[in-house]
Structure 1
Amino acid sequence: MNTTTARDIMTGGAQCVQAHDSARHAALKLKELQVGALPICGENNRLVGVVTDRDITVKVLGEGLDPDEVEMGTLAQGEAVTIGADDDVDEIFATMTKHKVRRLPVIDGTDLVGMVALADAAQALDAPEAGRLIEALSTD
């Protein structure tokens, strides 16, 4: 069992886009922060999902939609998949594999405290586990 936790490997200070923010606003924030994903927060800054640069490219631009008109809340799909700040790397591995996601918001109680990416988890795993994680996320 790996004792490294999400808190140990996450990028702290994650910023949200609001559910009512436009796709253009989210794209500019992704560029400004030099990240590939941002949590989407709704009422009371409650996490409602995650938007990626790919979501904006495929679901907005690829569909011919106006990025100034599409709100981020419409891109949130179902319940947000998260990881607890004190969950270990094995739990991160299991959650990423189960939900086929490469990035997870890290929460401490109900507060968003950071993001953990596939690369963060892979660096904390031994080589065979990292290989299984990458393989699991690369298949459809």
Structure 2
Amino acid sequence: MEQQLRNIMTSDVYTVKDSQTIQEAAALMSEHNIGAIPVVNNTGEMVGIVTDRDITLRATAQGEASQTRVSEVMTAQEIVKGTPDMDIHQAAQLMADQQIRRLPVVENGQIVGMVSLGDIAVKDQFDQDAEQALSSISTPSEPQS
């Protein structure tokens, strides 16, 4: 039985603009207990994603100040995204292949939801997909040169 991401995604998604500071993004993450926030432009189109890890490794560890702009630490190229009608098995495989724990769900360029491995894991019929994805994600990737 095919299940779509729209059936399990979180549709109440918090976003930031690329001109906001990492301190603002981190405060949102802390307030809502989330680890990733989609970055949108003025029309609401997703232009990137910033994670707690991005802030830590690309700003804090480099001695950057809390006033650093989100645009300086976000992932903007090759953003891995899903669509609301994507099959959950496909999404889990995509997350495993790309070694990501959270998948933004985009429709017509607009962020409409987020799916985490946890969202997939709590569905009994998909717990093996989540387990496989987590196993792949936890495998160290090759360092970039």
TM-score using structure 2 length: 0.86
> Residues 112, 127 of structure 1: CA spacing in aligned structure 2 closer, same or farther, 3 A cutoff?
closer
Alignment match, 1:112: 111
Alignment match, 2:58: 59
Is the counterpart of residue 39 in structure 1 residue 38 in structure 2?
yes
Structure 2 unaligned runs (5+)? 141-145
- Cα distance in 2, alignment partners of residues 48 and 114 from structure 1: 15
- Cα distance in 1, alignment partners of residues 46 and 81 from structure 2: 9
Q: How many residues align?
A: 138
Shift in Å, 1:51:
1.0
Retained in 2: the 8 A contact 1:10–1:116? yes
- Cα distance in 1, alignment partners of residues 97 and 65 from structure 2: 33
Is the counterpart of residue 134 in structure 1 residue 134 in structure 2?
yes
Shift in Å, 1:116:
0.4
Shift in Å, 1:79:
2.6
> Residues 41, 90 of structure 1: CA spacing in aligned structure 2 closer, same or farther, 3 A cutoff?
same
RMSD between superposed Cα atoms in Å? 1.6
Residue-by-residue CA offset, 1:80-104 (whole Å, 9 max, x unaligned): 2110011111111121012111001
Is the counterpart of residue 25 in structure 1 residue 24 in structure 2?
yes
- Cα distance in 1, alignment partners of residues 126 and 80 from structure 2: 24
Name the SS of the counterpart of 2:54 in structure 1: helix
Q: Percent identity?
A: 30
> Residues 16, 108 of structure 1: CA spacing in aligned structure 2 closer, same or farther, 3 A cutoff?
same
- Cα distance in 1, alignment partners of residues 127 and 33 from structure 2: 27
Shift in Å, 1:64:
0.6
Alignment match, 1:82: 81
- Cα distance in 2, alignment partners of residues 108 and 126 from structure 1: 23
Moved more, 80-89 or 102-111: 102-111
TM-score using structure 1 length: 0.89
